[in-house]
Amino acid sequence: MDYLLNERQIELRSLARRVALEKVKPVVAKHDRESTFPWDIVEEFAKVGFFSVYIPEEYGGIGGGVFDLVIVTEELSRICGGISLALAGTALGTYPILMSGTADQKARYLPDLVAGRKLAAFGLTEPDAGSDAGAIRTRAVRKGDRYILNGTKHFITNGGVAKIYTIIASTDPGKGSRGATAFIVEDGFPGFRYGKVEDKLGIRASKTCELIFEDCEVPVENRIGKEGQGFIVAMRTLDRTRPGVASQALGIAQGAFDLALEYTTKRKQFGKPISSFQGVQFMLADMAMQIEAARAVVYATARMIDSGAQKIAKESAMCKVVASDVAMKVTTDAVQLFGGYGYMRDYPIEKFMRDAKITQIYEGTNQIQRSVIARNLIKGIAGR
């Protein structure tokens, strides 16, 4: 389908496609097998300006928005859903500064992030606070011109490789989500260290680790917004980044479909390519339709956000559910089309299925997304 991209977006898409094919593709299997972080590819992303696509021009970006990030993430994920996260995870850690940071915070942190000299990460999740994001236990206590942070964040994408972290901690535990506050924590701040590095099913080229704060000192000027606004900062961030997860899912689905379509035209059984059998054709048609439907929802949501719409929680949740469920279905069917070969790690297709699964889980499980959608539908009725 023609989504009527503007000239910049068409160029961005072909650039991302080229980088994905020329630079990412040759190293995908190695990073997946060894679970290593692709620093050389990150340098390449920085060189071609991918870290600047969603940043306004006034902060050194190219002035695109969520849609530009979606385009790049989709193309990179078509080749590797793990490697694309160096960029998407950085956007997740950067949005709180971009949306709610002070002029001084933007001046101090954005230039390095825009240039890709430093990666960012977002620290909300804790061992006992995942879906229930208001239940965080990491404490931030003000002492003069500093906050002292204590607690553990886990499952943090880009943990250990990022230099800049936006961390949600509680400044008033009695108030639950209304007592949360956002902070910028730098790698190297006293009392901040990394913990367990996760060994994952998929997205193995992306680093995921624990962040441990032990009397970690954070200057007051690194607080984002006011005390008590951290939960809203987190929710507003996720509203803008869930389309990014959706585009990662979309790319993973498209990448698996590309391989499956080609394979069915080459693989011969009963004397002809399996693509000539109606059972296989129906599967291919369904997969293509599902991907296109997901793409339409993801692109429409990204455009809605970029147009300045403020009430976007429902649409953002919808596009994440649609695209990630499609990714899981399409990648599972792609493995099926490869038959026994699909199950073997010598073939590239099983990785897509492993990578797809996380998109139904992180940045809010699809059950949480459905609850966000339902709450907003019900609120809409009540407000009539």
Which position among 5, 62, 99, 235 is part of the footprint of ligand COS (CB under 6 A)? 235
CB 174 within 8 A of CB 140: no
**Contact between 131 and ligand COS per CB under 6 A:** yes
Query: With CB under 6 A as the contact rule, which of the stretches 5-13, 131-139, 268-276, 329-337 interacts with ligand COS?
Result: 131-139
Burial of 191 (0-12, 13-18, 19+ CB in 10 A): middle
Under the criterion CB under 6 A, does residue 247 sit at the interface with ligand COS? no
- Residue 193 phi/psi, 5° resolution? -140, 170
Q: Scanning residues 251 to 310, which ones bind ligand COS (CB under 6 A)? A: none
CA-wise closest residue to 78 among 364, 277, 355, 267: 355
Size of the site for ligand COS (CB under 6 A): 22
Choose between 223 and 314: whose C-beta lies nearer to ligand COS: 314
C-alpha 204: how far from chain center: 14
Q: Between 56 and 134, whose beta carbon lies closer to ligand COS?
A: 134
User: Given the complex with ligand COS, which of 83 and 317 has the nearer CB atom?
Assistant: 317
Stretch that binds ligand COS, among 231-239, 255-263, 324-332, 346-354 (CB under 6 A): 231-239
Sole binder of ligand COS in the list 140, 238, 259, 328 (CB under 6 A): 238
Q: Which of 49, 134, 191, 273 binds ligand COS (CB under 6 A)?
A: 134
CB of 316 to ligand COS, least distance (A): 8
What does the chain come to in residues? 384
Rule CB under 6 A: choose which of 93, 96, 116, 364 binds ligand COS: 364
* Residue least distant from ligand COS (Cβ): 364
CB of residue 248 vs ligand COS: minimum separation in angstroms?
A: 13
Q: How far is the CB of 260 from ligand COS (least distance, A)?
A: 30
Of 129 and 283, which has the nearer Cβ to ligand COS? 129
Within residues 159-178, the interface with ligand COS by CB under 6 A covers 177-178
Catalytic residue annotation: 363
